[in-house]
Amino acid sequence: MIGAEAIIKCLESEDVKYVFGYPGVAICPFYNSILESDIKTILVRTEQSAAHAASGLARLTGKPGVCAVTSGPGATNIITGIATAYADSIPMVIITGQVKTDLIGSDVFQEADITGAVESFVKYSYLVKKAEDLPRIFKEAFYIAGSGRKGPVLIDIPIDVQNAQIKSFKYPESVNLRTYKPTVKGNASQIKKVIGKVRTANRPIMCIGGGVQLGDANAEVLKFAEDHNIPMVSTMMGIGTIPTDHPLYFGMVGNNGKPYANKAMNEADVIMMVGARVADRAISQPDLITKDKVLIHIDVDPAEIGKNAVSSIPLVGDCKAIFEDLNKEEFESDTSKWIKALDSYKKDLKIKRNPNKDYVDPESFIQTLTEALEDDAVYIADVGQNQIFSCAYAKIKKGKFLTSGGMGTMGYSIPAALGAKLADPKRQVVCVCGDGSFQMSMCELATFRQHGVLAKIIVFNNTYLGMVREYQHYSYKDNYSMVSLDGSPNLEKLVSAYDFDYLRLENAKGLKKTIEKFLADKNSALLEVMIDPLDLVK
């Protein structure tokens, strides 16, 4: 058996169904050996998309997504995708081909020091020196990527290692990592302290971060909130953890969030941050959530606790395990007055938009769309105004809301939708992007077509890079620079070249019908939605 065959065996042992990637000489042994396997290969049209697709898949399966690209430019092209996954703690294993071991360091054709280049965007990386090490390294890589605070792990494999003979293959049953042991169970005395504070709180609130879904703890967290009537808000990465119409849910916090969600955080006396890192876009003034308040910070990564806000009660561990323990404690709490106050804030602090009737109003579009979606649909928002509108107005029932929250990588949604649809073909998957982000990933329409994956793409066309235009509107007195998207293609003609159906909405007329037709279409389809070029998210 050669190294490349051993790699395939490792992936089979990890129950990998799909590998997203792009070939090149240095990864050819791998892509040759995979032909003998049932693992399906998905050829994306640029390497960055391979990582986003693996991310979309990982967020549905909960297991590391896998991608494999070649050395040099293949490896450097995927870095943005890796950084995007790292910023959102998405489990992923990236395989890169590398030039021959004895040529490393001599600047030969398509050589790049990829382990060095991705150092700050991966949880861990390997440069494989001996084919015999492959089973151990893959076992460790999958374990590291999918445990503790999840994240990408890169394995760089020189071509001679892929071609080297190995005598026998045995995939290890367990890992033996003496220096890596993430905390799972929460400290019992800290849990007691948490209960003590929540029990006596007058105005408790839970802020749900992306860590809750990543830790598969939605049900446990919701039970705790419901049992004790604790209202909840979420960060962008936490959207969809709690059904958005839940009576205890009060929207997204942050400078692009709901004013009543921020008010709730400011007025609370006990805040539980759960799987959230107190990032600047969610909490712009960390001192506001610590001053005269009790901050309980629950996270699997001890380094996040105290990084941006000093907590009164730190609690390190896996969200699911911690909430299982918290749910064992019985106590009564009366928060009815507090919830009543929050309900009235929700009514009073609604952002009143003044939509331009000549165009489609993003608010009513997203509301109508998400009401028409199946209960467990996956809604993927790209980056820009489309993302902020989506966060504000999407109704998520039992489905999922995916977006690039930490890195804000444009072009994320289309390849992520590809990965999500492959992970669960029966599930409805729609992605919403702007005319800017669409053009960053439109090459992937061919990938959907090639592999027979149903695409449902919505493009908000406002002829601008809207988020930056909005920033220039407020900060540079409408001195627009580099934001006009003049020259964009005719989308109807473009998608017809890929055999996609094309639908278009100019204004509110036919909104519901068009959306229904778009969703019911058995063929891949793109819905172009004309948005007022001067519309603002706030």
What DSSP letter does each residue of 340-404 carry, written as one string? Answer: HHHHHHHHHTPPPP---TTSB-HHHHHHHHHHHS-TT-EEEE-SSHHHHHHHHH---SSSEEE--
Is residue 306 part of the contact set for another protein (CB under 8 A)?
yes
Secondary structure element (H or E) that encloses residue 252, with its range: strand 249-252
Residue whose CB is less far from another protein, 145 or 442? 145
* Residue 474 identity (one-letter amino acid): Y
Q: Which of 108, 219, 310, 351 binds another protein (CB under 8 A)?
A: 310
Q: How far is the CB of 16 from another protein (least distance, A)?
A: 22
Q: Lay out the sheet containing 313-316: strands in order across.
A: 249-252, 232-234, 204-208, 270-274, 294-299, 313-316
Q: Give least dist CB 246 to another protein, A.
A: 34
Q: How far is CA 313 from the centre of its chain?
A: 28
Query: If binding is defined by CB under 8 A, does position 177 make contact with another protein?
Result: yes
Q: Which is nearer to another protein, 34 or 93 (CB)?
A: 93
Name the segment binding another protein (CB under 8 A); options: 16-24, 252-260, 277-285, 303-311. 303-311
Quickly list H helices, 24-147: 28-33, 47-61, 73-77, 79-87, 114-117, 134-146
Binding span for another protein by CB under 8 A among 189-197, 206-214, 296-304, 354-362: 296-304
Does residue 168 touch another protein according to CB under 8 A? no
Q: Which is nearer to another protein, 302 or 408 (CB)?
A: 302
Question: Which residues, numbered 87-116, are part of the site for another protein (CB under 8 A)?
Answer: 115-116
DSSP secondary structure string for all residues of 142-164: HHHHHSSS--EEEEEEEHHHHH-
Q: Per CB under 8 A, which of residues 142..161 are in contact with another protein?
A: 144
Q: How far is the CB of 179 from another protein (least distance, A)?
A: 4
For another protein, the closer of residues 311 and 524 by Cβ is 311
Minimum CB separation of residue 144 from another protein in Å reads: 6
CB neighbour burial string for 394-424, b if at least 16 within 10 angstroms, e if fewer: bbbbebbbbbbbbbbbbbbbbbbbbbbbbbe
CB of 284 closer than 8 Å to CB of 255: yes
Exposure b/e, 355-365, CB count within 10 A at least 16 = b: beeebbbbeeb
Binding segment for another protein (CB under 8 A), chosen from 283-291, 305-313, 396-404, 478-486, is: 305-313
Contacts to another protein from residues 489-518, by CB under 8 A: none
Q: Which two tokens stand for residue 525?
A: 């389809």
Scan for tokens 């204004």, then name that residue.
507
**Least distance in angstroms from the C-beta of 446 to another protein:** 37
Name which position in 286, 302, 408, 533 contacts another protein (CB under 8 A). 302
Encoded tokens for 158 = 């020189």
- Interface with another protein, residue 180, by CB under 8 A: yes
**CB-nearer residue toward another protein: 133 or 492:** 133
Tokens 């105005």, residue?
Answer: 203
Please, what is the minimum distance in Å from the beta carbon of residue 242 to another protein? 29
DSSP per-residue string spanning 260-273: HHHHHHHH-SEEEE
Per-position DSSP letters for 430-463, written without gaps between them: EEEEEHHHHHHHGGGHHHHHHHT---EEEEEE-S
Q: Cβ closer to another protein: 86 or 345?
A: 86
Nearer to another protein, 310 or 497 (CB): 310
Nearer to another protein, 178 or 493 (CB): 178
Per CB under 8 A, does 124 bind another protein? yes
Q: How far apart are CA 360 and CA 459, in angstroms?
A: 12
Binding region for another protein (CB under 8 A) out of 79-87, 173-181, 282-290, 325-333: 173-181
Nearer CB in complex with another protein: 113/521: 113
Query: Cα-flanking dihedrals φ and ψ of residue 400, to 5°?
Result: -130, 150
With contacts defined by CB under 8 A, name the span among 29-37, 40-48, 301-309, 338-346 that binds another protein: 301-309
Residue 158 vs 415, nearer CB to another protein: 158
Binding site for another protein (CB under 8 A): 115-116, 119-120, 123-124, 127, 144, 177-180, 301-303, 306-307, 310
